[in-house]
Each structure stands twice: as C-alpha cells, then as structure tokens.
Amino acid sequence: MPGAARTPAPASMPPQGLPGLDSRFSRIALVPDSGDAIGTTRGWHALDNGAELDRLGVTPVGTILCVHGNPTWSYLWRELVQQATDVAATGSGDAWRVIAVDQLDMGFSERTGVHRPLAQRVRDLADFTLAIGLEGPVVTLGHDWGGVVSMGWAVDHPELLSGLMLLNTAIHQPSDAPIPAPLRLALARGVFGQATVATPAFLETTLALGHPAVSRAVKDAYRAPYRGAARRGGIGGFVADIPVDASHQSFAELSRISSALRRLTVPAVMLWGPRDPIFSDRYLDDLIDRLPHADVHRFEGAGHLIAEDVDYADALLTWLGDNAARVTTGAARSEQPTEDYADTVATGSKAALVEKASDDAGTGAAASDRPLWHYLDELSDSGETALVEMNPGNGAEPRVVSWKLLSRRVREIAAGLAGVGVKKGDRVSLLVQPGADLTAVLYACLRLGAVVVVADAGLGLPGLTRAVRGAQADHVIGAAPGLAAARALGWPGQKISVTTFPRAVARALGISHTLAELVRDGRGATLPEAPAPSDTAAILFTSGSTGPAKGVVYSHAQLGAIRDTLAAQYGVGVGTGLVAGFAPFALLGPALGARSVTPDMDVTSPKTLTATAVAQAAAAVDATVVFLSPAAVTNVVATADALTDAQRHALAGVQTFLSAGAPVSESLLAAAADLMPNASAHTPYGMTEGLLMTDISLDGIRAAAASRAVGGVCVGTPAASVQVRISALDDLGQPTGEPTTEAGVTGEIVVSAPHLKSNYDRLWMTDRASRVGTDSAFADRRDAGDASPGAVSAAAAAASTRTRWHRTGDVGHLDEAGRLWVEGRLPHVIATPDGVVTPVAPEQRVESLDRVARAAVVGVGPRGTQQIVVIVETASPARRVALADRELTSSIRGVAGVPVAAVLEVPRLPTDIRHNSKIDRSGLSRWAADVLAGGRMRQP
Amino acid sequence: MKVLVTGASGLLGGATARAIAAQGHAVRTFQRRPSGLAGEPGFEDHLGSVTDAAATARAVDGVDAIVHLAAKVSLAGDPADFRRVNVGGTGMLLNAARIAGVERFVFVSSPSVAHSGSSIVGDDARPADPERAHGDYARTKAEAELLALSRDSDALRVVVVRPHLVWGPGDTQLIERVVDRARSGRLPILDNGAALIDSVYVDNAASAIAAALRRVDAVHGNSYVVTNGEPRPVADILASICEAAGAPVPAWRVPASVARAAGSAVEALWSVKPGVDEPPMTRFLAEQLSTAHWFDQRRTRRDLEWTPEVSLDEGFRRLAAYYR
C-alpha cells in the first residue's frame, strides 16, 4: 500500500450543508477492534436515524444496515435515511431504522493505517454492530464491494438477519473469466498506486458513471472525505483486495461467503443498473443463481451509481412493505431450514407464480397436460407434411419437412444440445429467421427444458442488444447476421450456428458448434428427462412500442394454454393447413398438429409480404387458416391485383383469416376478406403478456359500428377462459378503481387467463405494477413467511387456485353486450379540468372528416388541467408543420366532441416502426407542448 | 349591502359594477370621469381620485365593501406616477376602509404581478413578486397586491382577483387596436402564433369579481387568476377577433425575438396610446403574445364557486354582433 495510506487519522464528522444530507443523522461510534490490533478502539462515522425515531416516539420494525462500496461513503445512502425517516414521521408505512456506516479507512471513519482485507472488513462490520448493540431483525443493503461485506455480515449473523438487499455488486469471480477491464487497468503494476491513492482518478472515474450525470455539488460531497492522498488509502486498499485469482489473500473469504449465500432463504431483492462497466449482468446472473428466490429489477439506462440514477430508496421501502411479515420478524427460522421448507420457501415470489400458472392451465383446458411437442411424438412415423418453408434462401425451391423428419430432427438437436452442455433452465437466445430451422431448434429447446429467449428484430439492434444482455443468455443459436452481431456487440453465451462456416470464419465469430454437428452427435443419443409444466419455457421480448423492451416469462403450461386457446378460438388442429405470417402464433403450428407454411417474406419487414406470396403459401399446404400481421395485411391488399386465377382459387379455400398484432380498420379487414371470400375474418386483441385476450370478427366489427356506440375500437368479446375487468380512472387518469365488469366504466383494462405471462424477467417493479390491486399475491407471500412449513404449502395451494391478473396499460370500457372497447394507452389519457378524456374516440370523430387522413388527440400541460390538442395528417399532406387553417380548425372543433385548444397540421404523424399503425402519442404530446409554449415549429 | 367600485369608467369596471348591482347590492362608483352608470337605478357616482385622501374618505364612507379596480395602466409616464396611483392609491383606500369599518375588500390585480417573462403553462396563481415583474405597471400592481394582502384580517377581509387579458365589445384596448391594425394591414403575428393564450371575456371577469365579493369571507387572504379556461393559439384568437370585426385576418409574421429585442419598435407597431385604463400593447405584451400564458383554473372555480358563462366562441359572436 502506498506510503500515504499508512497515515492514521481519527474519525470526524462530515462538513455541514452537503446536498441531501441532514447532519442530524451523522454520529461517531467508538468500536473495539477485534482484529490484529486488539485493545485498540476504532472510530466509525455512520448515518443513523435511530435518535430521530426515538425523538418521534416511533419504535422501528427493524434495521436496514447499509454498506457502501469503493470509493463512495455513507453519503450514498442519504436518500434512504431521509425517506425512511419521513415514512416514520408521517406514519405512511413501517418505520425502519437505517444505519449506514463509513467503512474503516473510508468516508469520515478512522484512517487505521492498516491494510484491511475482506475477512477483516467483514469482522470490522461485526465489531461495529456488536458495539452499538444492534438487534434484529436486520436487513442488509450493500453496493459494490460493500455488497460483499454486507453479504459476509449476513451469512455470519443468521440470528439477526431477516432480509438481503443489493445494488450492483458481485460475490464471485468466475475462474474462467477475466476480471473487468477497468479494474485490470487499475491493478496493473505502476498504475495502481497512482490511480487509486496518489491521484483521485479512481474516485473521479466512479463519480463519472452517473446516468444522468451526477451534479457538481453531489460529486463534491462524494469527494469530501477523500481530499488528499493521505485520506485515500482505503480506496487503494479496496482495489488491491479484489481477489483476481485463487492465490489472492481474500479469495478464501469470498468463496466462503459466496457458498454460504446459497443457504440463505430470507427475502432478497437486487436492484441493478446494467450500464456498469464493472458489475455487468454476468454478476447479476451469478447472484440470481445463488439466490433464486430474489426479486430482481434491472433499471434500463441506469448504471453503477444506481443509487444516484434511480429512486432506489422508494423501491426498497416498497419492497420491504410487500415483504413486511417476513422481514420485520425475528430471523431465527431462516437459518438452515429443513429441506422441505427450503424448497417451498425458496420458490418465493417468482416460482410460486409459475406454480400457480400451471394450476391455472390445468383447470383452463383439458388438453393442457399435453407437452408442446406432443404431436412430434404422436406423429413421429407420419410421412405427412409438417412444415413448408416457401423461401429457404437463395431462390431455392420450397423446403418441405414431414412430421417424421421434424420429429427426428428435434430429438437429434435436443440430444446434441444436451451433449454440448445445454441444460434445463439454461437460457438460449434464438437469432434465427422463422422457418424450418427455427422451428426445429425451438422445439428441441422446449423438449430439453432450455428457456428460449426470443427478441423481435423490430426492436432494432440497440434494443435487441439490451434485451439479449438483460436476459443473460447462456447460449446463442443463430444464423450469420445474428452471430456476427452477437460477436460484435459482445453478447454473452456459447455460440451455436445453424449454418456451417469455414473454420476461420467460425473462429472469428466465436462459434463453438454448428447445428449439423449437433444433429450428428445427437443421433441415437438418449434425451434427458422432459421439463415439468411449471418450468419456464420462454422469454418473449415486447416490441418496445409501449416503453423499453421487457422480457415476458412463460412456463410450458402457459405456452400450452396459448396453444389450446388458439385451437379453441380458430379451430386449428391436426391436419389444418396454416399460413403462418404472424411469428408468435406461427411457431405454435407444430404444437397444434397443424401443417404450417412460412410464406416468402422478409420477417423483419412484414409490410413486404405480397398477396402472391400468401396465395402461393396457401396453395402449398391447402391452407384453411391464414395468420397475418396488420402491416402485412395492408400490403397484401395493396398487391392483390397481381394474383392469378389459380392463386385466387387457393385463397378461396381459406376458412379463417386472422390479422393479429394491432387493431385494423373495418375497411382493411373487409378488403382482405374479399380476397378470401369463404373465410371468416378475425382480429384478436392481445399483447406479448397475453397473446389472445379477445376476438372480433368482421361481422362483429360491422355490428359494433352499427351500434353507434361512442368511444374507441371494439375488440370483441373475451376469448375462451379469458376474463376482462376495468379499473376505473380517477381525475388524474390513474386507474385506482376496483376492477369491475360494469358496462360503461372507462378505465385500465385488466385481464386474466391461463395463458397469461408468468412474470416479467428481472423487472420486479414492473411486474408488481402490472398486478397491483388485482390480487393479493403480496399478502399471500407475507403470510407464507409467517407460517409454519405446513401452512406455507397450504397458502401456496390456496394462492394457486386464485386467478392471476395483468394490468394491460390499455384503457377502455365494456359495453352492455360484454364487448370490450379500447380507447387508448394509459399514458395517453388526457386529464382535463373537466375530467379524463381518452384519445381514440375523438380521433375517430376527427378522422371522419374528409380533409383528415389520420389524427392524434393529445394533452398538453399539467395533469388535471390539461388542454386538448388535435394533430392531423391531412388527406393531401401538409408540406410543413403549422397551425391548421381556420376552416379545418373550426370543423375539427365541431366534430371532436371535446374542447379543442389547438389544431396542428403535420406532413406525417410519427408511428411505431414495427406496427406501422400505433401513433406515438406520448412523443406527440411532448412535441405539441413545446410548440404551443412558443417553441420552434419543428417536425414532431 | 353597499359596495364601492373604483375605476368604474373602464370596460371591466363598468361591467363589474353592473354584475354587483345585479346581485342586489347598492353600488357607489368612484373614478375621475363619470362612470356612465349614474342615471340607472341602484347606482351612485362619486368623482375623484384614489390619490385624493379627502375624496377617498368620502367615497368610502358608509359602504360595506370595496371592489378596487382603479389603477394607472398606461405605458409612458413617470415611474413615480405609477407608484403614487397604484401603490399609494391602494394604501389610501385601505386606510380609509379601515377607518370607515369596511369589512370586505376585493383587489383587482393582474397575472403579470407574478410574471417573470417565461411561459406559463397551466400554473395556478403564484405570489406577487415586484422584484421580477416586468415594467412599472406590473411592478406597482405587485406591490399594491402585497400591500392589500398584508392588510387582510378577520375585520377587513381581502381577496385578490387577477383577470387575464380582458376583452369584449367596446374594448378600446386589445380589441380596438387589433382591429385598427388589421384594417390598415399592419397586424403582425409574432413567431408562428402557436403560443397558447388564455383570456377572459369581460362579463366572465366581472362575474368572477362579483363571486369573489360573495365568497370573500371564506376565501380571504388568497389570490385567484381568472380566465375563460379556454386557451387557444394566439394567431387563432387574433384571427377570431378580426373575423368578428370584419377586418382582414393577419397573415404576416414577425419573429418574437426581434419584437422583444426592440421594444420600441414593437411599441411603434402597436401604436401606443398613453393614459388609458387597460394594459397597453408594449414590449411586455409582445412577450405575452409569443409565449404561452394559460392557467390552472380549478382552484379559482372551486373556491369562488364560479364558472365562466360566456364561452370564447359565444364571446366572438357577441363581438361580431357589436361590430355589425
């Protein structure tokens, strides 16, 4: 350790007036040192709201023990100390004492002059809690290397511990992976002392990691205890203590803690900022592996200084509230539970949901016990066609795959994958275009129990990268472009190619295996045991059109329930010829026993699908069912003139036609139906979280139009086994109402079905928000914690019979006939002084004007007093953005049915690229607010 | 009860006096020129200035409530004159009120007392701030408002009403100038004219002041911005006025930055007439007409138990009828 670091100095109080830090919370504790310097006393500075709680006359339910990392100090936790104290003062929740220490040699604690390796630091913290007489229950909270120290304390104090909270940290350095590059640099000979102690470089680098940037005043507060090399010895000591390999002094202690962690069953939560150059998702993945019951939330966009980037304090206090019964009671039972008990408790929130899901599915439809690969087994000797790929590439002839071949290929690939280490529960990212290869690989993964990660190419490369990184795939199976991207962008996981490359290319792409090898090696090999219905089957990423892409987790039972709902709703079964032009449903063809065909199209651009391609595909399998996306339907209608008589004949055989993905207009659906004169045309309502919630036929759309009802797009009646409720909006547009089936109530659409998602992946808060107020899942968990092992199982069983609900984020109402009408997205609800206004109905009325092609109705100004603005794309598009002319403004005010403050005309309304139909009202609202406040007339 | 209305010779003052009389109160008006109401039953006219202590004391004698609109609003002039009339006059009236045992005092102010030049987007009334208010009129009105509120007590109950951009038939300020300029083809629109501006039709402003008088016991000590609650783009409003008056709708545009940077140029454009009762078209107004100015009316409507009766479009129809 550099010389300056050996200079001792006593503990001191932080200067007054640091932003966000109330000096009342600072205290100095004198703690006997149990280390090498027995007999000496160490001065600790800590933030502690204990005295303030006493003053308020509040008895805390427990203590949150916070440990900062390197090179920060207890200032990191100021917001939690403040919020917890505020909650205690107002009585708005449980009162928590918060103690945030400055570790020795750090912050304003004593400079001991002695190097303190990890084991010493863990002992130091124990000395501190002993000296101040800390009693349980204690929930630990750690960040960065403070996470490690806090976990060390946690495993050593089972009698006090009732919960574990972590922000970006790590507990294990895999032997096969190098430590993160920035730290390698900091540790390099010659750089180390300079970077960490002699200069404030390490400190400054860390402070630069805020997203958004940390303010100057806050940075200064972080710097306050580290002015001068003599005060920075601890920073260098910490960096030197990173156990780079097994020979390191602290390796044994790290291993001890990381192993002991697996035995912890107390509730745990991890909040993570993925933009962290040090503690990447890899370390989160490792922690999840050790604490599988933990609730996890990744804050997309946040980074290493997550405590500065997001409102972590509110998130943690919310989590503590949800888990109150367990984290506020004595912790003795959490130590070394019996095996049975561990199994039950360890399933925790996430797994319990999966369990419930499988039960739901069991009661939902009789066929649900059939695995997704049922027909691959049943038809394994059938020479009938299972799949047709119209354009396998390079202008080749259509590829026809029999059930027999598909079945065998799936088994071979599954066995081959098992042979190269793909296990049940492993995450496999699929970067393969729809077609025979994707289908075979998908069913092979399902059969193995590997979790399929599917991200829509429509997310774009940045979105896709975030998705794949976030999901932490263990394996990537892809074709050339996907693998090249995976390589270039450093996506994690073993790379498997569906095509065979020259050795050099394969090496360059980091490919370890090819599909051909897997098939060869898997031939005749025995398959591992099949997964259970409750096991996770897939993670589907949402389009991102309604926010950042989210991973949606489905179990086998839930995917089976989707299959069964599709079968029941559209009569797809064994032998049905199915044109699979809509990816999520298309992949279920083999599960349905259908003969499915992938039309010749660029899947990343559904609007390129032509009528001819659909007709050729239909002819190839004698299709009776056609699934298309809305963008594809538009183009199919536009290219219908090119159809030959034979092709029209093939389309005449279609009995059911489905446009899935977003609502389409009656005229478009009717035009498509004209091409399939014997088909009943349908459009379903659903979302990635629940793919088929309601359905409406073309006749239904016409009947709804004839009913002259006001307000939104009619999406029909609930599909089999689906329940729809409405949670009414308050004056500010918040869906606070108790979910109801009452007709005419406008509010958030809340759905339930056996085929609903299990949960969001690593988005505990999002998941919580999607269920809040719809069930008592949180209460169930708390109760479970309180009870004996037997009662826990009983509670779990009771919970499993309860219905799972999902808040869709869509707003609408039910009518007297039980039909659902969608009126827009929740964030698009306009909260005016006269009440809430949903956009879709006034948009439709405005669009009824001849001069208007498309309209968006948005709000500007503060919620509760918002003004309504109409933005239009005119039939003959405007050349530039402007206020609409007097006549148009006046006619729009005349029909809108709501008070209109302003009408703006734009050349083109911005829409979501993937669907080419969803108008970006949130963006338009921000744009209109700027223009109407006197801002520049720029393009939206 | 008997109510003293100061400044009743103006458009808003006259309408306010009528609105209060319509509630069954006896109205005494007090201003330098005849109000024009004196001949009607229920009205009594006192001539004089609020800067004249003796005249003010006579005017206040025997009334139960005061509605104070009189102010110096012109552009040009000695800053001391603004202070003497707006601050000194208000102080004089408050003193007289206290001596006479008047119990209720409605001070008619302006949103400009809290305006710092930036956009106002759905804000509620903020405290008056003489430091940041622009120009002598707004600054002295801000001081006067703070003075009035400082005198609020259970004995003398003070409430402040701030109507924003008052207009209506017979308005010589906004309406007449817009129409004059438009007729001579010299009415510009600042920037793109998209800034949302809230305004108040004169009858609504008057009924709001009457409502404040009715509700003063419950809401004294507060300030309320009063508008129609119908913000529209400024170009839209100017065009509606021109249409109503049969004048050509403005078509040419001036960058607001130019207008603001050269206040005198704007003043020339808008042909300022000094010495009249309502806020003139000035650099200040140029700013007002190029940045958004609209307000959260929920608290105003709830506390005053008042809603505007005349919609913007109905107001434009009445304006058109006036010009026919």
Q: What is the greatest pairwise CA distance in chain B?
A: 56
Residue A905 lies in a domain: yes
Same domain, yes or no: A14 and A103:
yes
The ipTM (two decimal places) reads 0.90
Nearest by CB to B298, from A865, A882, A901: name it: A865
* Nearest-angstrom CA–CA distance, A703 and A685: 17
Beta bridge partner(s), residue A626? A579, A657
Chain centroid to CA A810: 18
State the catalytic residues of B: 137
Mutate to test the interface with A, among B115, B119, B124, B196 (most CBs of A within 10 A): B196
Residue A790 lies in a domain: no
pLDDT of res. A191: 59
Residue A780 lies in a domain: no
> Could you tell me the pLDDT band of residue A484, with boundaries at 50, 70 and 90?
confident
Query: Which residues in chain B touch residue A859, judged by CB atoms under 8 angstroms apart?
Result: none
Same domain, yes or no: A314 and A439:
no
B2-166+201-227+295-309, CATH topology level: Rossmann fold (3.40.50)
Nearest by CB to A861, from B121, B232, B239: name it: B121
Query: Which residues in chain A touch residue B233, judged by CB atoms under 8 angstroms apart?
Result: 883, 901-902, 932
- The conformation of residue B258, written as its DSSP 8-state character, comes to H
Residue A569 lies in a domain: no
Same domain, yes or no: A517 and A654:
no
Same domain, yes or no: A851 and A900:
yes
Domain with residue A878: its CATH number is 3.30.300.30
Which among A430, A382, A428, A422 is positioned nearest to A406, based on CA atoms? A382
Residue A740 lies in a domain: no
**Strands, E assignment, A384-520:** 385-389, 399-402, 427-431, 451-454, 475-478, 494-497, 511-514
- The conformation of residue A224, written as its DSSP 8-state character, comes to G
> Could you tell me the pLDDT band of residue B213, with boundaries at 50, 70 and 90?
very high
Q: From chain B, which residues contact A within 8 Å (Cβ)?
A: 119, 121-123, 191-196, 229-233, 235-236, 239, 243, 249, 256, 290-292, 294, 296-298, 301
Asked if A429 and A538 count as a contact pair (C-beta separation under 8 A), the reply is: no
Same domain, yes or no: A260 and A394:
no
Domain boundary among A334, A360, A381: A334
Q: Do B121 and A889 touch (CB under 8 A)?
A: no
- In this complex, how many residue pairs, one in chain A and one in chain B, have their CB atoms less than 8 Å apart? 73
- For chain B, what's the residue count? 324
* Nearest-angstrom CA–CA distance, A92 and A88: 7
Could you give the residue ranges of the DSSP H alpha helices within A802-885?
840-847
Let me know if A349 is exposed, middle or buried by CB neighbors in 10 A (0-12, 13-18, 19+): buried
> Could you tell me the pLDDT band of residue A194, with boundaries at 50, 70 and 90?
low
Nearest-CA residue of chain A relative to B235? A883
Mutate to test the interface with A, among B115, B118, B191, B232 (most CBs of A within 10 A): B232
Let me know if A853 is exposed, middle or buried by CB neighbors in 10 A (0-12, 13-18, 19+): middle
* Nearest-angstrom CA–CA distance, A29 and A36: 20
pLDDT of res. A408: 95
Mutate to test the interface with B, among A830, A863, A867 (most CBs of B within 10 A): A867
**A242 compared with A378, residue with greater pLDDT:** A378
Domain boundary among A660, A683, A716: A716
What digits encode the pLDDT tens for the residues B167-178? 999 887 778 878
A594: left (phi over 0), alpha (psi -120 to 50) or beta: beta
Same domain, yes or no: A57 and A201:
yes
Nearest-CA residue of chain B relative to A932? B195
Paired tokens of A478: 């892809």
Tell whether the model's pLDDT for residue A349 goes beyond 80. Answer: no
Same domain, yes or no: A8 and A62:
yes
What digits encode the pLDDT tens for the residues A424-479? 999 998 888 778 888 999 999 999 999 998 876 655 666 667 777 777 788 989 88
Same domain, yes or no: A466 and A389:
yes
> Could you tell me the pLDDT band of residue A365, with boundaries at 50, 70 and 90?
very low
Q: Do A934 and B291 touch (CB under 8 A)?
A: yes
Tell whether the model's pLDDT for residue A341 goes beyond 50. Answer: no
Domain with residue A488: its CATH number is 3.40.50.12780
* Interhelix angle A145-156/A251-261, nearest 10 degrees: 60
Paired tokens of A818: 């039980």
Q: How far is B278 from chain A (nearest CA, A)?
A: 25
Which among A258, A287, A260 is positioned nearest to A271, based on CA atoms? A287
Instruction: Inform me whether the C-beta atom of residue A898 falls under 8 Å from chain B C-beta atoms.
Output: no
What digits encode the pLDDT tens for the residues B251-305? 766 666 655 554 444 344 344 444 343 333 455 666 666 788 999 999 999 999 9
Q: How far is A852 from chain B (nearest CA, A)?
A: 20
- The residues near A429 (Cβ < 8 Å, ≥ 6 apart) are A453, A455, A468, A471, A473, A475, A476, A477, A478, A486, A491, A493
Chain centroid to CA B141: 11
Starting at the earlier edge strand, list the strands of the sheet with A852-860: A852-860, A867-874, A902-905, A882-883
Q: How far is B235 from chain A (nearest CA, A)?
A: 9
Chain centroid to CA A225: 38
Parent domain of A84:
3-334
Could you give the residue ranges of the DSSP H alpha helices within A772-816?
777-786, 789-801
Arithmetic mean of pLDDT over chain A: 84
Same domain, yes or no: A285 and A150:
yes
Task: Tell me the range of A9-13, A97-101, A178-182, A497-501 where mean pLDDT is highest.
Answer: A97-101
Number of domains in chain A: 4
Same domain, yes or no: A317 and A381:
no
> Could you tell me the pLDDT band of residue A546, with boundaries at 50, 70 and 90?
low
- The conformation of residue A582, written as its DSSP 8-state character, comes to S
Residue A259 lies in a domain: yes
* Nearest-angstrom CA–CA distance, A717 and A817: 9
> Could you tell me the pLDDT band of residue A181, with boundaries at 50, 70 and 90?
low
DSSP one-letter string for B160-194? EEEE-SEE-TT-TTHHHHHHHHHHTT---EETTS-
pLDDT of res. A56: 94
> Could you tell me the pLDDT band of residue A917, with boundaries at 50, 70 and 90?
low
- Compute the Cα dihedral for B287, B292, B294, B295 and give only its sign: negative
Tell whether the model's pLDDT for residue B47 goes beyond 80. Answer: yes
pLDDT of res. A745: 93
Q: How far is A674 from chain B (nearest CA, A)?
A: 45
Lowest mean pLDDT among A150-164, A619-633, A662-676: A662-676
Asked if B206 and B18 count as a contact pair (C-beta separation under 8 A), the reply is: yes
Lowest mean pLDDT among A294-298, A510-514, A908-912, B42-46: A908-912
Which among A882, A869, A871 is positioned nearest to B231, based on CA atoms? A869
Could you give the residue ranges of the DSSP H alpha helices within A454-595?
460-471, 480-488, 503-508, 515-522, 556-570, 583-586, 589-592
Question: Which amino acid, one-letter code, is at A652?
Answer: A
Domain boundary among A716, A742, A769: A716
Query: Which residues in chain B touch residue A864, judged by CB atoms under 8 angstroms apart?
Result: 296, 298
Tell whether the model's pLDDT for residue A724 goes beyond 60. Answer: yes
What digits encode the pLDDT tens for the residues A733-792? 999 999 999 999 999 999 999 999 998 988 888 888 888 776 543 333 333 333 343 433
Question: Which amino acid, one-letter code, is at B305?
Answer: E
Phi, psi of B153 (to 5 degrees): -155, 180
Q: Do A934 and B194 touch (CB under 8 A)?
A: yes
